[in-house]
Every structure is written in C-alpha cells, then in structure tokens.
Chains A and B, each alone.
Chain A
Amino acid sequence: MNEAALLVNFLIVGGLLFVTGMVGFLVRRNLIVMFLSVEMMLQGISLSLIAWGRFHQDLGGQILVLFMIAVAAAEAGIALALILMLYFKSHTLDAAFWHDLREEGQPPFIDQGLPETRHEQPQWPRLTPAGIRPDVNQDEQLHRSQV
C-alpha cells in the first residue's frame, strides 16, 4: 500500500468528521446533541492520530487515542450530570434558555417563529390477510373462561 496516499485519505476523512461535528455544535441547540457533536469532533481527531501513527510506524498515536477515550468517558460522565442538573432546574434541554448568563449590555436572544409543520398521518404498514379464516366460536367470544 502507498502509505502517504493512505495518510492523506485518512486525514481528509478525519477532517470531514471534525468539521461536521463543529457545524453540529454551532447549529444545534439541544444540549445533548451539542455534546454528541463534540464527541464526533473527537472521533475525527482520533482518526487522524491513528493515521499518523500508522504512517510513522509508531504506537504513540494509538496510545494517545486510548487516553482520549478515557478522558471522553470522564467528560461524558461529568457533562451528563451537569445536563441532568440543568434539566431539573429548567425542564428544558435548550441551550438558549440559559442566555441570561450573557454579558451586561448584550441584547437578549429572541427566538424565531417555529416553522409550519405538516401534520401527516403516519402510514403504518398493513398486513394482507392470508390463509383460511378460522371459525369463530360465539360462545368463546361471549364467555372468556381464562383471561
């Protein structure tokens, strides 16, 4: 395999994952979704670390990724506890809810109107009837001995 081309491929995929996570962090407002976007950025970083480790035939990249996984687990625990506490205080997961932590003199964040929703009935799948219709015993329909 051409190692330099392999490195370029993996670095680009890692960069795409990182940028996707960053866009998600900047765009979304749900606290949990924002946090998962940060995890996606970490995935992009670890992908490029592994690629560099392979390129230099060195295990340091993989060891750094192991430590990243440990730190990400610790971070997830703390962040979940914090998000749960924020939820108990505010009953919402909206990051915009906490905008009165803003600096003095800043205008408040005013939400835009919700877009129109199209209320469509979901199309549930229907099974076509098959086989022979069984005889219905009227006695059993009226008196159920065991329920």
Chain B
Amino acid sequence: MSALREQIAQWLPGHSLLVWALILGGLGLWLRVSLSDRPTNYLSRLLGGLSLVLLGFWLPRFGGWAEQAVFWVLAGVAVLTAGTAISTRSPVYMALWFAVSLLATAGLFLFQGAQFVGFATIVVYAGAIVVVFLFVLMLAQPEGLAPYDRVSWSWFAAPFGLVAGGILLCLLLLALLPAPTGESGMPNAGASQVPVESHHVARLGGELYARHLIAVEVAGTLLLVALVGAIAIVIHGRSSGASGEPRAGLRIRDPGSASGPWPRGSAP
C-alpha cells in the first residue's frame, strides 16, 4: 500500500494535465449520463472537448504532423462519439453513434497497419451487428422514447459508475506510464523482424491457418453452435412463454405507497 502511495506521489506532479483532463471529462460525462432534460448540454460538450484537448496536449508525440493529425481526428471522433452514444436517450441514436465510433476505431486499426482487422470490423460490426441491433430495436420498441431510457438506475448509478471507471483508468495509467523521472519500463520492440505491413493479408492468413488452425475450427464450431442455440431459444421461448399474460410494466413510485411495485413470486 505504501509502495502504491509512493508511486502515486512520484508520478502525480508530472502528469497534472492528465489528471485535469480526466476530471473534466468525468464531469462532462456525469452531466450527460444523468439523462435529464436540464440545460447543461452545452456545458457537458464544452467540458468533454476541453478534456480531450488537454489529453491531446499531454499525450506523447510519435511522429510528424500529418500522422499526428490523422490520429487525433480518429481518436477524438472515436472517444467523443462513444461518450455521446452512452448518453443519448434514444436507443436508435445510440446504435448509430456507436456505429460512427466503430468506423473511427476501424480507421485507427488501419492507422496501425491492421488492414484486414479494420475492414472486418467495418463489415462485421458496423455492417452486421449494429444493423441487426437496429432491427431488434425497431421490432421491440417501435414507439420511441421509453421511460426507462429517460432515468438511470437511481441517483447513485452515474457517480459510482464514473468513479469506478476513473479508478480503473488511473490504475491502467499507473501501470502503463513510468514516473517522469524514471526510465521507461517497457520492453523494446522486436526490431529485427519483418514489419507488420509487408504482405499483410497473406502473412496473416498463413499464420491464422498454420499456427492457429485448431482455434479457427473451434471458432467456426462456436458460430454454428451459437446459430443453433439462438434458433432453439426463439423456438422454445415462443412455444412456452407467449401464451401467458404479460406482466404489468414497471410502475413509477407514487408518493402514497411505500411498498414495492410487484408482489414476490409473480414471475411469468
């Protein structure tokens, strides 16, 4: 414990910009994820943008201006649209913002030279998974904004979630970043090997089907099992559960009644 405190005390003075960025970003996100109609939207956007700018100043430079600019645009779009996605009240808009975030993440993959994974992300995630989710949303919630999209769990969900996220992020940064005075703790990159970009897809396929052949087969089997399982769940649920009367929806607490909305044991 004292070692951790010492490490934090050694680490903190060099990274005050990062700490401020995290605090401002957390405040902005907190203003948004409480999901209310208060006119704090502009303030939260301002805080989020400011925190990203601070973070951009703090992050170490890795290359020329063109590379930096491409990275900043892609990373900023990915993080900002992710924050917008989790704080938008309409689930349809949430799925669309998440798709934008996925596109920016795929751009980051391309930036790293992972061409196949980038395009697979676009095709599988943004093209298939998000669209299927949109179909289910249209099927299950055609009337738009529901009450449970407009309130969170209770008053404590947003601050506690943000504190948990902040602690997680700080632990990650503490493990990742050396103290500003110390030496970098990271191992060197393997410099002698072939760079990732050359003959990328051919090498990726060779590695995938030579070293990881059994894993590929297992993944294929998993997809098949998931397909069969999804169909089985739908068939079984239709035959057993569709006949019963649906239970009443979640009631909002009225000031008179102190008991819970449902009696025990009223499961369908």
Contact flags B189-230 to A (C-beta < 8 A → 1, else 0): 111011110000001100110001001000100110111011
Judged by DSSP, the binding face of A is helix
Contact between A108 and B260, CB atoms less than 8 A apart? yes
Q: Does B256 lie at the interface of the complex (its beta carbon under 8 Å from any beta carbon of A)?
A: no
Contact between B150 and A77, CB atoms less than 8 A apart? no
Residue of B nearest to A75 (CB): B226
Which chain B residues (122-173) contact chain A, with CB distance < 8 Å?
124-125, 128-130, 132-133, 136-137, 139-141, 146-155, 157-158, 160-162, 164-166, 168-169, 172-173
Residues in B whose Cβ lies below 8 Å from that of A26: 157, 160-161, 164
Q: For residue A57, give the distance in angstroms from its CB to the closest CB of chain B.
A: 5
Contact between A59 and B169, CB atoms less than 8 A apart? no
Residues in A whose Cβ lies below 8 Å from that of B231: 81
Known: A24-B85, A85-B237. A57 touches B189 (CB 8 A): yes
Judged by DSSP, the binding face of B is helix
Known: A17-B82, A26-B157. A111 touches B250 (CB 8 A): yes
Q: Does B113 lie at the interface of the complex (its beta carbon under 8 Å from any beta carbon of A)?
A: yes
A28 to B95, CA, bound (A): 13
Q: Does B114 lie at the interface of the complex (its beta carbon under 8 Å from any beta carbon of A)?
A: yes
Contact between A77 and B227, CB atoms less than 8 A apart? yes
Residues in B whose Cβ lies below 8 Å from that of A60: 207
Contact between A89 and B241, CB atoms less than 8 A apart? yes
Contact between B60 and A8, CB atoms less than 8 A apart? yes
- A85 contact from B91, B233, B265, Cβ within 8 A: B233
- B153 contact from A2, A9, A12, A27, Cβ within 8 A: A27
Contact between B230 and A50, CB atoms less than 8 A apart? no
Contact between B250 and A94, CB atoms less than 8 A apart? yes
Q: Does B266 lie at the interface of the complex (its beta carbon under 8 Å from any beta carbon of A)?
A: yes
Contact between B136 and A83, CB atoms less than 8 A apart? yes
A84 to B251, CA, bound (A): 22
Contact between B176 and A63, CB atoms less than 8 A apart? no
Q: Does B108 lie at the interface of the complex (its beta carbon under 8 Å from any beta carbon of A)?
A: yes
Residue of B nearest to A8 (CB): B60
- A69 contact from B121, B158, B251, B253, Cβ within 8 A: B121
Which chain B residues (30-72) contact chain A, with CB distance < 8 Å?
33, 36-37, 55, 59-63, 67, 71
Contact between B154 and A69, CB atoms less than 8 A apart? no
Known: A13-B79, A85-B241. A36 touches B95 (CB 8 A): yes
Residues in B whose Cβ lies below 8 Å from that of A18: 168
Contact between A81 and B234, CB atoms less than 8 A apart? yes
Contact between A29 and B233, CB atoms less than 8 A apart? no
Q: Does B182 lie at the interface of the complex (its beta carbon under 8 Å from any beta carbon of A)?
A: no
A141 to B176, CA, bound (A): 75
Contact between B234 and A9, CB atoms less than 8 A apart? no
Q: Does B117 lie at the interface of the complex (its beta carbon under 8 Å from any beta carbon of A)?
A: yes
Contact between A2 and B63, CB atoms less than 8 A apart? yes
Contact between B94 and A53, CB atoms less than 8 A apart? no
Residue of B nearest to A116 (CB): B37
Q: For residue B128, give the distance in angstroms from its CB to the closest CB of chain A.
A: 7
Contact between B120 and A97, CB atoms less than 8 A apart? no
Contact between A32 and B250, CB atoms less than 8 A apart? no
Q: Does B186 lie at the interface of the complex (its beta carbon under 8 Å from any beta carbon of A)?
A: yes
Residues in A whose Cβ lies below 8 Å from that of B190: 56-58
- Chain B residues proximal to chain A, CB less than 8 Å: 29, 33, 36-37, 55, 59-63, 67, 71, 75, 78-79, 82-83, 85-87, 91, 94-95, 98, 101-102, 105, 108-109, 112-114, 116-117, 120-121, 124-125, 128-130, 132-133, 136-137, 139-141, 146-155, 157-158, 160-162, 164-166, 168-169, 172-173, 176-177, 184, 186, 189-191, 193-196, 203-204, 207-208, 212, 215, 219, 222-223, 225-227, 229-231, 233-234, 237-238, 241-242, 244, 246-247, 249-253, 260-262, 264-268
Beyond contacts A1-B62, A66-B117: 6 other A-B pairs, Cβ-Cβ < 8 A, are A19-B169, A59-B204, A70-B223, A78-B229, A93-B140, A110-B253
